[in-house]
Structure 1
């Protein structure tokens, strides 16, 4: 039996991530079809929910560029639950994300 594998989308460059970090963000249906596509980034935990949704559901790099912010992603990275293959793809492209893990030891 063949399993469905969603393509993994990774940004080309972290500096291209310039999304909003405050206020209400409404995601398009292709990213959040739950009916609750409004994310109040000033509310506790909502920015983590938004980032997890974008990282998992992105279908093209523009989704990442539009809704993610480099500094916020770097700060939140250790606390965002992601599928292992997705986390690995991002950390292979951007090793600096892996170093933000508070449990990692310095080389």
Structure 2
């Protein structure tokens, strides 16, 4: 009987810290992610820019091991981006993070209307640009 490869998120529980206090990443400045996290494209991120931080946090959660997560993420900044970040990461990762840290899920619920409004504005802007291009 053939055995398949393990799923990418089979080990997600071991890649989530036990406590948000274990996150000791920078809260300001630029961060150069190691090649094993970013092997192509952008590697240096300004964590002071919420949009740039969102991309960096997505990469670290998707690609990183526990040591990467603890070294590159900051608890306060994670909380700030979580309402948007949770939409960008795999459902298994989202479920594990929110199960372990209910405050993340609560914060996302508190900001759900704001995030939905941002998405509507973005969709409208894309539609307007498409109409202009015609």
With normalisation by structure 1, the TM-score equals 0.84
Q: Write out the 4+ residue segments of structure 1 that deviate beyond 2 Å after TM superposition.
A: 1-4, 40-44
Q: Which residue of 2 aligns with 1:99?
A: 106
Which is richer in helix?
2
Rg comparison, structure with higher value: 2
Gaps of 5+ in 1: none
Q: Which residue of 1 aligns with 2:126?
A: none
Aligned residues: 103
Distance 1:85-1:67 versus aligned 2 partners, 3 A rule: same
Q: Which has the higher contact order (CA 8 A, sep 6+)?
A: 1
Q: CA RMSD in A?
A: 2.0
Q: Which residue of 1 aligns with 2:121?
A: none
Q: Which residue of 2 aligns with 1:63?
A: 68
Q: Is structure 2 residue 25 aligned with structure 1 residue 19?
A: yes
